[in-house]
Structure 1
Amino acid sequence: MGEINSLSQSLQQSFINKAQNANKNYQAALLTNDKKEGKKFLSTLLKELGQCDEFFISVAFVTNSGVATIINSLQELEKNNIKGKVLVSQYLNFTEPDALRKLSKFQNIVLKIATNDFHSKGYLFRHGNINNIIIGSSNLTANALCSNKEWNLKVSSTKDGLLYEQVINEFDKELANAKDVTADFINEYTEIWNKAKQFRKQNNIAAQTALSKFVTPNQMQSEALKNLNDLRKSGKNKALIISATGTGKTYLSAFDVQQYKPKKFLFIVHRRTIAEEAMNTFRSLLGSEISMGLFSGQFKELDCDYLFSTVQTLSKQENLQFFNPEHFDYIVIDETHRAGAQSYKTILDYFKPGFLLGMTATPERTDGTNIFELFDYNLAYEIRLHRALDEGMLSSFHYYGVTDITVNNEVVDEYSDFNKLTSNERVNHILAKSEFYGTDSGEIRGLVFCSNNKVSLQLAEAFNQKGYKAIALSGASSEEARLEAIKRLESTGSDKIDYIFTVDIFNEGIDIPSVNQIIMLRPTQSAIVFVQQLGRGLRKTDGKEYLTVIDFIGNYNNNYLVPIALYGDRSFNKDTIRKLIRSGSNLIPGASTVNFDEIAREKIFESIKNANMQKLADLKKDYEDLKHKTGKIPMMMDFIKYGSRYPWLFASYAKSYLNFINRVEDNYKGTVPPDFLQLLELFTLNINNGKRVEESLLLRQLLEVGHLNKTDFINEIQSLYGYDINEETLQSLLININFNFIREGYDNIRLENGSFSLGSNLISALGNDTFNKFFADSIDYSIAAFNESFSKGNYLDGLIRYNKYSRKDVCRLLNWEQAISSTVYGYRTKNGVTPCFVTYHKSDELEGDINYNDHFINPAEFAWESRSNRKLSSAEIKNVIESKRILLFVKKEDGEGTDFYYLGNVSIAADSIEQGVTDKGQPVVHFRFLLDKPVEDTLYDYLVQQ
């Protein structure tokens, strides 16, 4: 009866009254792909597959990319003997034969194909007596599941419901009339599909040829072009563009040349083939009216206005003499990270162009050259990988994090010996995963990244012995050998190879468009290197639909770097990284997906828990990198501006950001007296930490104008954030900023006659220029951090749902006069408000009297119990029951630190309060909390999973 009642309430909520409380699992819902909201239809599909007892899929089209998005789930269903039926269509011969071939291998799936004009898109999942039905527009393709604008309606029905009967009867009828997908059928259909594909390809070529005449900048390129123009307007004559391989750097430079209109133009690259390709790109965009030519090797077409040259030819003195130093109005240097080489320096020292543009995917140099300095630190634009994926400039990818092989009950780790890394057992494991996940076309063109050259060589040989064609390359391999291997990897002839094994020589500067599978067989030591290696397969090319990435995850200390790289995170904030992992593919751009097997996922969560994100060496490196990039000592706001490491890590490490600077620089040492340094520490750790914006915003206003009317401040908060603050909060601000909350107070600000003003202590400190600078920066960081996490819909009287807070934070944000966090423990009632703090997975070593039996019943209900030795008649219990507000805070385990997720406000379910006893026979009171909003799926799953 419980299910029926829940379904009835959900129907009421969905179709009659949205205010009705209902079980989220049974709500009718419109399922769409929305990148701004971080939503993909795929996430619902995966959740349903992961929880169902049986599944039915009826789609017109199924592609390799579609199967790739759910293949891990299908494997898990097969392992658990969960049966399914899949009905696809031959409509327009769009369904891909390789997709049928993959689906047909699953023993738990009945696969059939309708050969008529069958065009349905529906999914049905049985969960006991309840059936979830999704009908809409999404076929089983990656684009339809992840990025296209699709509408799909999800409804629930019992097995006795009319809707279920209609849907299952229609499915069974069509299934009975469809053909079995046998090996013979797939072979016959492959011939038909190939002909249809060729016809579509010819039509696409014709359409693309017509469209190529109307190429316009995409959004990223438009932003970069505006920045370049603004730099020139401000008098700058140099600029640097950082852009991932395959993101249209050449087109971007051509668009800028188009707006600059130079009379004489020079484009410098390191290979003639690239110069020729660049010239063709410029010609296609700018037309044939402008004369263009090559200056490379035997080609010296000096009578052209736009010249495309190789550095090897141009850097020779006898060739430079053909040109006056001011001959060119505009010069582009491609692959600018090479500019530290003497040949490039010779050219740069010789020419004096009106404007110099550098373009690179990897500005970091190991030879000590500061590329940013060469371009006067004028970074016009940085096109990051994930933004490029979002704009559709790169091929989509499907990433699979899989558990590395276990040998003698030991998983591969950093210290595994050569024999374990190259064992026949491991080779078979690698090949099994490679064959299972496959590629977009079925024909492998793969790169394999190994931990060292010896392993690389041995594994390549092992692959050859298993019937694959593989070559190992190392730093000792000649340029000719590397180019020959690449040529063979891209070949369509008998000399084609399947894999190139290497360690790191393909991290950058190599373009192999046809790569469609990357295998990672090494620990991730650097997020930058991971992205560089991933980028080797993201170049778009004709006939390539997506890249398959298979990452073998062992017991590596640095596993936490995998999500940092995949999701483009630069914060190194543990909670941010956990959230990214929980989001699955929702926060991955476009049709790309991220998939971990359960063991690999847990290894990454374990690595995040154990990782030290505040190693001084790491902080110093990121600090030096940003200093290198900006040409100055960076402030906290610079880390935000440039998307670098979370600046709070620097500040909390040293108690203030100025303290950190004093550790790594000599410039500021001794410039701030000890009492001012202590004041800055207090503000950093207790006020300007981004947990509440009111204090920081008030301080920012007082820095600017010296005083502020109380009413004006209230109005500003309402204008900026849409909520009101009361007199209690205003008094709390005064207490907090003057540090009466945590210690004997300061005279930092005053509230007199309805107006805020600066107090004597802060006025004195602000007289010190260094204190002033770092204090203002701390304030600006705090406001920016709050704004990033603020959501009007999740803001509840001072706290933001799903943000993390310490007990001390909660005391402050509830406007309590003092930080009594040390006496809060599991809960504390004060002023009619009760915050409850729960560690969900408690240590086995906890004594029974404090090992509370707190747990979720479902995402909307929470079973909670009081401390031991408490009865219904206890004053403490009466205070909880009579509370005006009860707040629920939960963290997964103690290893997460001192902060808890705020899950919202709760009410006590009627008739749920019961007297009970602990295992030791001590009295305890049981409650059932009703959350004001069900916990979102990914956080709920993360918290409850052991």
Structure 2
Amino acid sequence: MNKLKPKFWLGMSASPDRNDGFDIYSLFDHNIASEIRLQQALEEDYLAPFHYFGLSDLSIESNEKENKTGNLQAKFDQIEFEQRINHIMEQAKYYGHSGTNGVKGLIFVSSKDEAKRLSEGFNRKGWKTLPLSGDDSQQKREEAIDRLVSDDRSDRLDYLITVDIFNEGVDIPEINQVIMLRPTQSAIVFIQQLGRGLRKAKGKEFVVVLDFIGNYESNYLIPVALSGDSSYNKDNMRRFIQEGANSLPGMSSVHFDEVARSRIYAAVDQAKTNTISLLKEAYAQLKYKLGRIPDLVDYDRFESIDPNLFFNNKSLGSYPAFLMKYEKEFTSRLSELELEYLKFLSVKFGAGKWIDELIIIQALINDGGLVIDQWKDLLIKNDILVTEHTIQVLKSSLSGNYAAGTGAEKMKRIQFVEEETGRISFQFQKMLENRAFKQSLTNLFKFSLNRNKRNYSERYKETKFKLYSKYTYEEVCRLLEWDRPVVAQNVGGYWIDHKTKTYPVFINYDKKEAEEHLQYHDRFLNRYTIRAMSKNGRTHESKDMQTALNAKDQEYSMHLFIRKNKDDAISKEFYYLGEIFASGWYEDQKNVNGKNITEIEYDLEVPVPEELYDYITN
């Protein structure tokens, strides 16, 4: 390309998204004539379907260590090597391959030493394999490929074992089995390796992919890669693990054995998907594609990383904070206070779970003379449920008074309106004179309002919740319109707000061993019945238990929020499962410390969907 000077360039790449920092898009002035991703190519029958099997590896994970580059490498001196060889060979034979001319496979491993040792082990037990790495000449590689695809050479091979080659730039349509014996450290590389087997060939109906999964921190990248979902949304990852076989187009399928599945779930829970390195990589990929600094809405438009991960990174809090730190072309400057305002709005409302505050602030920006008497009509126009109490809570939120605990004092700095009059605050009005700040607000509001319309517009009954969406303790307090949020530690499984007559119940379904002394037995009996425990020191005659048992008669609404465990490294959210009603069954018990405790049975108004039920209970 440096020598030729044509009037028009037309290029094609199977791997435009790269993790080596090279911008392919710039070679073509960021003009994308057409783009087709793996899922669409499978749907259009351009590729051979694949059958992916996530299998548990036989390594001793407790002694795996992470080196300085973040790569987890199994220590072979901790592994029964022969047992592992047998396990791999048995699984490869069991799951088989397409075609009648024998296996023609690629095996991806982490190191040259591993490739050599595995090859020796496989060859000793009857396979014909050859290790290849970047140290080998092009001539040796081509000769090895010919031996692999040949049906009649006496020295034909069953497998090539590769380390740092064959991820891209090689075309071997005959490949009918791919074995992965390395941790998934990059979704891009995973797809490149999977793609080695997706070319169609005569006599080949599909490719079998065997992924031997150890206890790696990076396992969360497996659902990211297979689903094609680059948002790094953990719920999407979990959903794919649960429903993988149903979510791929065409004849392709995904299966996990139980050990591998549990390892991936654990990795998803522990994954820190909002690290600066991951955010910078996703940002760079989208910027390469666009040829400019991406706006927040571009991330959704091009199905990139979820911008809320920028917001939830504690060192950032907002997208402009990221740009100011890491993008040289972003020349706008924002004050510390302006960044605090943007952080507040991004963290609280960026996901678009509710938009009441955004509607009012947007109106204040357009009309600084907006008064509180106009709020109700404005909200109703935007299809928002409004009462007089709604307005009071909203005024409290916008004047910096809706907070609890250690953050309450800090929130008083964030005032959009005056507490008494509801008019735009002098401080906020002054800040709007900064065009960069005002533009940042506009970009955030556009993104958040789009998210709300897309993800949260279908509300459950007369509530502000969407069934099966996730909410934090504080968000539940706000959406139930309590005067103040309650500190999570004080909630203790449930809380009654007598002013709004609401009674949310929060359940951590899986308990840690350290909590077993509590003898909690919160559990589903089926998809529409759950039993939950009271706080300690309660009997069925206690006030909170009587309210639960007689909620219908007393006109209290009880709502169920549940999460599988507390393990998520980023999010402390609960799935909303709708209203619940005491069935009438209860039992007073004693805990291990001899204190009173009551178990109550509740009926769910809406049965839990099977996939979510299986995820929570299994």
Judged with a 3 Å threshold, the aligned counterparts in structure 2 of structure 1 residues 363 and 489 are, in CA distance, closer, same or farther, namely same
The match for 2:494 is 827
Partner of 2:238: 578
Q: State whether residues 412 and 421 of structure 1, in contact with CA within 8 Å, keep that contact through their aligned partners in structure 2.
A: no
Question: For residues 574-653 of structure 1, what are the structure 2 equivalents within 5 Å?
Answer: 574-653=234-313
Q: Per the alignment, do residues 502 and 677 of structure 1 end up closer, same or farther by CA in structure 2, a change over 3 Å counting? A: same
SS class of match (1:542): coil
Give the one of 338, 345, 360 matched to 2:2: 345
- Please name the residue that 1:97 is paired with: none
Q: What letter matches 1:807 in structure 2? A: Y
Alignment equivalent of 2:134, drawn from 472, 475, 496: 475
Q: Do 1:422 and 1:455's aligned partners in 2 also have CA atoms closer than 8 Å?
A: no
The alignment of Structure 1 onto Structure 2 pairs a total of residues equal to: 590
Distance 2:577 2:114 in 1: 48
Secondary structure of the residue aligned to 2:402 is coil
Task: Classify 1:705/1:537 alpha carbon distance in 2 versus 1 (closer, same or farther; 3 Å).
Answer: farther
1:414-440 C-alpha deviation (Å, 9 max, x unpaired): 343356679332221111000000012
Match for 1:739: what amino acid? Answer: G
1:431-510 correspondence runs (5 A) = 431-442=89-100, 443-495=102-154, 496-510=156-170
Aligned to 1:390: 43
**Helix, strand or coil at the partner of 2:299:** helix
Q: Aligned pair in 2 of structure 1 residues 405, 775: CA closer, same or farther (>3 Å)? A: same
- Give the match for residue 735 of structure 1: 396
1:766 aligned partner: 432
**Cα distance change of structure 1 residues 693 and 513 upon mapping to structure 2, 3 Å threshold:** farther
2-structure distance, mates of 1:580, 1:768: 44
1:862 aligns with 2:526: no
For the 8 Å contact 1:412–1:555, the answer to whether it is kept is no
Partner of 1:899: 573
Structure 1 residue aligned with 2:322: 660
Q: Which residue of 2 aligns with 1:918?
A: 591
Give the deviation of 1:768 after TM superposition: 0.9
SS at match of 2:579: strand
**Paired residue secondary structure (1:585):** helix
One-letter amino acid of the counterpart of residue 427, structure 1: I
Tell me, yes or no, if the aligned pair for 1:832 and 1:879 is still in contact at 8 Å: no
1:748: which partner in 2?
A: 416
Once the 2 structures are TM-superposed, how far is the Cα of residue 534 of structure 1 from its aligned partner? 0.3
In 2, are the aligned partners of 1:842 and 1:851 still within 8 Å (CA)? no
Alpha-carbon distance change, 537 to 793 in structure 1, aligned in 2, over 3 angstroms: farther
Q: For each residue in 1:906-931, what CA deviation from the matched residue of structure 2 results, as whole angstroms up to 9, or x when unmatched?
A: 1111x313433333332223211101
Q: 1:794 and 1:539, CA in 2 relative to 1: closer, same or farther beyond 3 A?
A: farther
1:197-596 → structure 2 map (5 Å cutoff):
344-347=1-4, 350-353=5-8, 356-364=9-17, 370-406=23-59, 414-418=72-76, 423-442=81-100, 443-495=102-154, 496-596=156-256
> Distance in 2 between the 1:365 and 1:790 partners?
34
Could you say which structure has the greater relative contact order, defined with CA pairs below 8 angstroms and 6 or more residues apart? 2
- Residue matched to 1:809: 475
Query: Residues 504-550 of structure 1, C-alpha deviation per residue, up to 9 Å, x if partnerless?
Result: 31111222222111000111111110010001111223332211100
The C-alpha deviation readout for 1:581-622, integer Å capped at 9, x for no partner, is 122312222221111111111111222222222322222232
Which of the residues 706, 710, 717 maps onto 2:382?
717
Gaps of 5+ in 1: 1-343
Q: Is the 8 A contact 2:509 2:522 kept in 1?
A: yes
How far is the alpha carbon of 1:452 from its aligned partner? 1.4
Query: What's the offset of the Cα at 1:683?
Result: 1.5
How far does the alpha carbon of each residue in 1:8-43 deviate from its partner, in whole angstroms, 9 at most, with x for none? Answer: xxxxxxxxxxxxxxxxxxxxxxxxxxxxxxxxxxxx
Equivalents in 2 of 1:791, 1:514: separation in Å?
A: 49
Which residue of 1 is the match for residue 334 of structure 2? Answer: 672
Deviation at 1:552, TM superposition (A): 0.7
What SS class does the counterpart of residue 586 from structure 1 fall into? helix
Q: Which moved more, 1:612-621 or 1:664-673?
A: 664-673
Deviation string, structure 1 residues 424-476 (Cα, Å, up to 9, x no partner)? 32221111000000012353121111111232233234333333332322213
Task: State how far apart, in whole Å, the 1-side matches of 2:242 and 2:179 are.
Answer: 23
Change (3 A) 1:730 1:548: farther
1:836 counterpart residue number: 505
Q: Indicate the larger mover: 865-874 or 700-709.
A: 700-709
- For the 8 Å contact 1:687–1:737, the answer to whether it is kept is no
Over alpha carbons, which structure has the higher Rg? 1
1:735–1:395 Cα change, 3 Å: farther
More strand by share: 1
In 2 relative to 1, CA 662–462 (structure 1 residues): closer, same or farther, beyond 3 Å? same
Is residue 789 of structure 1 aligned with residue 458 of structure 2? no
Amino acid across the alignment from 2:99: S
CA deviation after TM superposition for structure 1 residue 728, in Å:
4.1
Calculate percent identity across the aligned residue pairs. 35
DSSP-derived class of the 2:55 partner: strand
Alpha-carbon distance, 1:694 to partner: 3.5
Kept in 1: contact 2:181–2:212 (CA 8 A): yes
